Amino acid sequence: MAHDPGPDETVVDLPAGRLRGAVEDGLTVFRAVPYAAAPVGELRWRPARPHPGWSGTRDATADGPSAPQMYREGGDPVLGGHGEPPFDEDCLTLNVWTPAVDDARRPVLVWIHGGGFVSGSGSLPTYSGATFARDGDLVVVGINYRIGPLGYLHPTPEDGEEYADGDAGGNHWLGDQLAALRWVHENIASFGGDPDSITVAGQSGGAVSTAALAGAPAAADLIRRVILMSPPFGLDLPSPEGSLERTAAYLEIAGAKSLAELRSQDWPALITAVGGLFARTSRWGYWPTPFLPVIDGVTVHRHPAEALLHGAAAGIEVLIGWTREEANFGFALDPDHAGADRERVTARIAETFGAGAAPEVYAAYERARPGARPADVLMDLITDELFRMPAVRLAEARAAAGRPVWAYQFDLPSPAHEGRLGAAHCLELPFAFDNFEQWAGAPFVAGLTPAVRDGLAHTMHRAWIAFVRTGDPNHPDMPHWSPYGTDTRTTMRFDSVVTALDDLAGHSRRLHEGALRRLTS
């Protein structure tokens, strides 16, 4: 039965000041709550600083600005868009959804949005925490953090001198997320949440963030569980030295010689320059990523794919998965990729497996998908390299170490664009949130059969809730889901019929293991 908040339950008193939220459909919601000082002026490209607080009662009934990002009127043919104005640098805020402002100590879910490190917002309606809060009796937090050049641009050695006050390194996106996590731990009890039961979840770039956050020494013992949805762990993340070429290219495009000069530009100019960096860094057959996390040895010590295998992070409970055709999101509607011929795809395979193995690898992919066109082979290769195989390797390593991990694959295809998207990247999101009314403007959900859609969404959504509450995704309305083990490799397949299968990714796993063994022998 829905809780009916009383009039006093829209107000909380925090160390920073008093907040007034709003009652929305039986939940109490606080929006645009600052968790750090505005990173503007001299604080641009500086780690997040504590917010100074406020006097009186701060209104928290409306969303604040999202992080500055590229914006295209009319959206895109897959998601329809992934960020809406207003945008502003003063964006280090979060939203909280709670069934009640009380002392119930409910489990907490912190959501980190994805978006290729350049787009997205924790306050997008699609990422509303209302369904999780209402259906799971959870407290849900969605965060905004710096993205694009403001969050991921890494300093040159000369600019690094500006960090002599202890602000060494870059990766300000991670510093923002750490500040938000600390805020949650210190304040969430005032919203009815349990600071000792925090699950952090993210999708795509947000899943990379989630893993990096779990592995950060500053977050030790703050995270109990993580949900990693489609993490692109196959990304080759640069060292500081490796990032210099990209930083130099961005400075040139922006017409600046240093971060000091960039500080004199307004943020719209900085975002405009991102388009030029896309053009400079894109390669055929690879996911475009103008900005990347940097393994700087100061803020990020290892690839996030390895973070959950070491130290205190190794004991965190993990749910990880991917979609069957991740790469179709970015490439299936692009004529230059969708029209690729066998020769070009084989050449792309050779970049990973070597020229000698490339024809054999191509043939193996072709056999796995009867009637496959060269473009299908390319999509499956990119999906495996960037998403599926790195996730499987993480599951294998955790299982071998006796660490808890559950694995899934999302298989339900989108009927949009004559079915060319398949089970594309991001398609599992509305199912996990079970909030299709918020995704009405997303082309990739058009045409889904309502009964199948709603049944699968119920199953996934309840599994995510069960995992947040207990560390085990099982619930009565689904087949039994066993942890991933080195003997069974159990993987839950989310499709029109939900099924637990052993070694669902076995073909890809054996293909990549065998080809890479031959390459290194």
Q: Using one digit for the tens of pLDDT, what is the confidence trace for 23-81?
A: 999 999 999 999 999 999 999 999 999 999 999 999 999 999 999 999 988 889 999 99
| C-alpha to C-alpha distance for 254 and 274, rounded to whole angstroms | 9
Annotated active-site residue in 326, 366, 385, 428: 326
Residue 87 lies in a domain: no
pLDDT recorded at residue 156: 78
Whether residue 322 is found in the same domain as residue 308: no
Please indicate, yes or no, whether residues 516 and 428 belong to a single structural domain of this protein.
Answer: yes
Is the domain of 296 the same as that of 378? no
**Which stretch of DSSP H or E encloses residue 23?**
strand 22-24
What pLDDT shows up at residue 155? Answer: 85
Residue 509 forms part of a structural domain: yes
Answer whether residue 81 is part of any domain.
no
Question: Considering 315, 337, 371, which residue would you say is the last residue of a domain?
Answer: 315
Can you give the pLDDT at residue 74? 83
Same domain, 193 and 100: yes
Confidence category of residue 516, pLDDT binned at 50, 70, 90:
low
- Is residue 2 in a domain? no
> Are 391 and 494 members of one domain?
yes
- The reply to whether 52 falls in a domain is no
Q: What is the CATH number of the domain that holds 229?
A: 3.40.50.1820
With a CB cutoff of 8 Å and minimum separation 6, the contacts of 257 are 251
Domain shared by 261 and 366, yes or no: no
pLDDT class of 269 with cuts at 50, 70, 90: very high
Those residues whose C-beta lies under 8 Å from the C-beta of residue 108, and which sit 6 or more positions away, are 138, 139, 140, 141, 184, 188, 193, 194, 195, 197, 198, 199
119 is an active site residue: no
Q: Are both 137 and 229 inside the same structural domain? A: yes
**Are residues 311 and 255 in contact, defined by beta-carbon separation less than 8 angstroms?**
no
For strands 22-24 and 11-14, give the pairing: unpaired
DSSP output for 52-107: ---SSEEE-SS--PBPP----TT--SSSS-S--S-B-S---EEEEEES-SSS--EE
Q: Contact 186/159 with Cβ under 8 angstroms?
A: no
Number of residues that this document lists for the chain:
521
Whether residue 268 sits in one domain with residue 357: no
Q: Based on the domain organization, do 410 and 489 belong to the same domain?
A: yes
Residue 82: inside a domain: no
- Please identify which residue in the block is written with the tokens 């304040």: 187
Same domain, 338 and 473: yes
1 pLDDT above the threshold of 60: no
Question: How far are the Cα atoms of 208, 401, 458 from residue 404, in angstroms, in the given order?
Answer: 19, 9, 24
Which entry of 204, 230, 243, 508 is annotated as an active-site residue? 204
Closest by CA position to 296, among listed 412, 392, 424, 163 = 163
The answer to whether 204 is a known catalytic residue is yes
The verdict on residue 83 lying in a domain is no
Number of domains in the chain: 2
Do residue 160 and residue 209 come from a single domain?
yes
Does residue 403 sit within a domain? yes
Note the pLDDT of residue 520: 64
Which residue among the candidates 425, 461, 475, 512 is catalytic per the annotation? 425
Kindly report the average pLDDT of the chain as a whole number. 94
**Domain end call among 288, 315, 342:** 315
Rounded (10°) angle between helices 358-368 and 374-383: 100
Instruction: State mean pLDDT over 443-452.
Output: 97
432 and 487 share one domain? yes
From 253, 284, 315, the end of a domain falls on: 315
Residue 500 structural domain: 318-520
Is 326 noted as a catalytic residue in this protein?
Answer: yes
